[in-house]
């Protein structure tokens, strides 16, 4: 009992628990809401399981998605306004759809959501990201368009789009691949290298192409060929990294 107590009373202070969290989901990028629609068919867990609190050891989730919400207009947007003013925390920001460049034209706008309460003008998707991303607990790019540009990235598109990762400041990129050869993760790590980001890769098997090409500064390899076991260990490593970053950023604040 004494040893157990000693471990629990270690030097690292306990992280504050999160009992509730809001998810602010923006579909106002260039996209088709396909990821939101696909999410409605998810199982193990389903959306209902998450928002109704059926998942043990997870915070209560308040999902604000314009495609799925009962509210509309200002009743829906009040959560986004509050988060932008620092009155809603913690929250996760999810972006669905590629991000158009609002600076490449003299007038008009490509994509927006809601109206600025002070100016009466549309709030562009770029503005929402600028207002919310610095305050978010995490920022998630949902789907191909937000992550890689999607069909809008074809040559000749006038919107001058860019992806979510290019619209916010970043210091580190973490790639997760059970095989070490997932093409999308390889492309993401290559791009991270071009931006001089610190790169971490959670890999399985022998580390695959990512390890052979040394695409990660810190390749963490689960040397096993049983995918469920690889994913279990990777999930544990990911949570350790996340919790460590929380301690470090809190101590620096």
- Between CA 80 and CA 93 the distance in angstroms is 10
> Which residues neighbour 167 within 8 Å (Cβ) at sequence distance 6 or greater?
99, 126, 129, 133
Q: Is residue 252 part of a domain?
A: yes
44 and 137 inside one domain = yes
| pLDDT for the residue numbered 188 | 80
165 and 221 inside one domain = no
130 and 188 inside one domain = no
214 and 155 inside one domain = no
How far separated are the first and last CA of the chain, in Å rounded?
A: 35
Q: What CATH number does residue 65 fall under?
A: 3.40.50.700
For the chain, give the secondary structure using H, E and C. CHHHHHHHCCCCCCCCCCCEEEEEEECCCECCCHHHHHHCCCCCCCHHHHHCCCCCCCCEEEEECCCCCCCCCHHHHHHHHHHHCCCCCCEEEEEECEECCCCCCCCCCCCEEEECCCCCCEEEHHHHHHHHHHHCCEEEEEHHHHHHCHHHHCCCCCCCCECHHHHCCCCEEEEEECCCCCHHHHHHHHHHHHCCCEEEEEEECCCHHHHHCCCCCEEEEECCCCHHHHHHHHHHHHHHHHHHHHHHHHHHC
Q: Is residue 5 part of a domain?
A: no
For residue 145 the two structure tokens come to 């368009």
Q: Is residue 8 part of a domain?
A: no
Q: Is residue 197 part of a domain?
A: yes
- Between CA 199 and CA 219 the distance in angstroms is 8
Q: Of 169, 199, 221, which one is at a domain's C-terminal end? A: 169
Q: Is residue 1 part of a domain?
A: no
104 and 197 inside one domain = no
65 and 91 inside one domain = yes
159 and 179 inside one domain = no
Question: Mean pLDDT, consecutive 10-residue segments, the chain of 253 residues?
Answer: 34 61 91 88 87 84 93 94 94 90 86 90 91 88 79 77 60 86 85 84 95 95 93 89 74 58
193 and 148 inside one domain = no
| pLDDT for the residue numbered 220 | 95
Which residues form the domain of 123? 18-169
| pLDDT for the residue numbered 249 | 63
| pLDDT for the residue numbered 132 | 93
Q: How many domains in the chain?
A: 2
pTM: 0.67
Q: What CATH number does residue 205 fall under?
A: 3.40.50.10490
34 and 154 inside one domain = yes
Q: Is residue 128 part of a domain?
A: yes
155 and 201 inside one domain = no
77 and 144 inside one domain = yes
230 and 250 inside one domain = yes
For residue 12 the two structure tokens come to 């690292």
Q: Is residue 94 part of a domain?
A: yes
Q: Of 127, 148, 169, which one is at a domain's C-terminal end? A: 169
Q: In what order do the strands lie in the sheet with 198-204?
A: 172-177, 198-204, 218-222
- Between CA 22 and CA 137 the distance in angstroms is 10
- Between CA 93 and CA 64 the distance in angstroms is 10
Q: Is residue 249 part of a domain?
A: yes
Token pair 């919310």 in the structure block, residue: 132
């Amino acid at each position: 009992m004494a040893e157990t107590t000693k471990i629990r009373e270690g030097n690292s202070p306990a992280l504050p628990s999160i009992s509730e969290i809001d998810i602010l989901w923006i579909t106002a990028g260039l996209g088709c809401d396909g990821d939101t629609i696909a999410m409605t068919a998810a199982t193990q867990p389903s959306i209902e399981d998450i928002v109704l609190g059926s998942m043990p050891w997870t915070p209560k989730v308040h999902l604000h998605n314009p495609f799925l919400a009962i509210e509309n207009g200002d009743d829906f947007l009040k959560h986004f306004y509050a988060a932008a003013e620092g009155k809603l925390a913690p929250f996760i920001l999810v972006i669905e759809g590629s991000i158009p460049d609002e600076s490449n034209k003299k007038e008009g706008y490509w994509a927006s959501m809601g109206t600025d309460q002070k100016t009466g003008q549309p709030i562009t998707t770029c503005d929402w990201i600028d207002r919310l991303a610095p305050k978010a607990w995490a920022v998630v790019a949902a789907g191909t368009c937000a992550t890689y540009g999607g069909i809008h990235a074809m040559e000749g598109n006038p919107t001058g789009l860019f992806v979510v990762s290019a619209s916010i400041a970043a210091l580190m990129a973490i790639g997760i691949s059970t095989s070490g050869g997932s093409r999308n993760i390889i492309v993401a790590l290559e791009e991270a290298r071009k931006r001089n980001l610190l790169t971490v890769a959670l890999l399985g098997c022998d580390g695959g192409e990512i390890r052979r090409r040394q695409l990660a500064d810190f390749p963490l390899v689960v040397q096993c060929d049983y995918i469920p076991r690889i994913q279990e260990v990777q999930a544990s490593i990911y949570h350790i990294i996340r919790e460590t970053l929380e301690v470090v950023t809190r101590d620096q604040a």
